[in-house]
Amino acid sequence: MNIIETALPGVLIIEPDVFPDSRGFFLEGFNAARYARYGIPGEGHGFVQENATRSHHGVLRGLHFQINHPQGKLFSVSAGRVFDVIADVNPDSQNFLQWISMELSDDNHRQVWVPPGYAHGFCVLSETADVHYRCTDYFDAQDSGGVAWDDAQLAIGWPVVEPLLSDRDRALTSIASTRRWRLPQ
């Protein structure tokens, strides 16, 4: 397993060991003891919810976070390719407005660990993509927050000009017009 530290503190790209053979491949998608060595929650105080999405080409989901009950998330793609983005939207952070991106796919088998407090989103590059993610806290619709995918202050270089958005994501506003208490602290 290879761990790649990123420019955002705590955000890790994980490249699991993959063992291909004539039948396909095997990989260990999670090992609590091994992942805990890198600060990813494990045994007894780890993940409480697992989610999956299937999205079509051009779908953009995000940028999402929870405000008072932030979730750490371990993301991976089991089919297809996505452009994945993590952004620091905490006004008190020294990394405020910084973001990173990477491609996650069923070919590269990469995972990304998104610690609590970051905004996260992705855009589908392939015809369809299946994304799986484990969360360290339960989703709470009342605590859900986000910022617009095309926020001018972030200026994320998305690979899509007119993404397919949910009504919720279409209604997200810029960081500048979001009340401070509605952003991660």
Give the number of other Cβ atoms within 10 Å of residue 15's Cβ.
Answer: 14
For the CA atoms of 146, 13, 60, 177, the dihedral, rounded to the nearest 10 degrees, stands at 20
CATH architecture of 46-182: Sandwich (2.60)
Residue 120: per-residue pLDDT: 98
Instruction: Round to whole Å and give the CA distance between 162 and 13.
Output: 28
For the segment 104-129, the average pLDDT, to the nearest whole number, is 97
For the segment 4-20, the average pLDDT, to the nearest whole number, is 96
Q: From the candidates 35, 64, 109, 120, give the one annotated as an active-site residue.
A: 64
Q: Using one digit for the tens of pLDDT, what is the confidence trace for 20-71? A: 999 999 989 998 889 999 999 876 668 999 999 999 999 999 999 999 999 9
**Domain locations along the chain:** 46-182
| Alpha-helical runs (H) found in the chain | 32-36, 167-170
Q: Is 152 exposed, middle or buried (0-12, 13-18, 19+ CB in 10 A)?
A: exposed
Instruction: Round to whole Å and give the CA distance between 168 and 119.
Output: 15
Kindly provide the residue ranges of all beta strands, DSSP E only, lying in 17-157, ordered along the sequence. Answer: 18-21, 24-27, 49-56, 60-66, 73-79, 81-87, 99-105, 111-114, 119-124, 128-135, 144-146
Out of 21-30, 84-93, 98-107, 158-167, pick the least confident. 21-30
Q: From the candidates 35, 69, 133, 138, give the one annotated as an active-site residue.
A: 133
Report yes or no: 12 and 104 within 8 Å, Cβ to Cβ: no
Residue 185: per-residue pLDDT: 82
Any catalytic annotation for residue 64?
A: yes
Q: Using one digit for the tens of pLDDT, what is the confidence trace for 118-164? A: 999 999 999 999 999 999 999 999 999 999 999 999 999 999 999 99
* pTM attached to this predicted model: 0.94
Give the pairing type, strands 49-56 and 128-135: antiparallel
Q: What is the DSSP letter of 82?
A: E
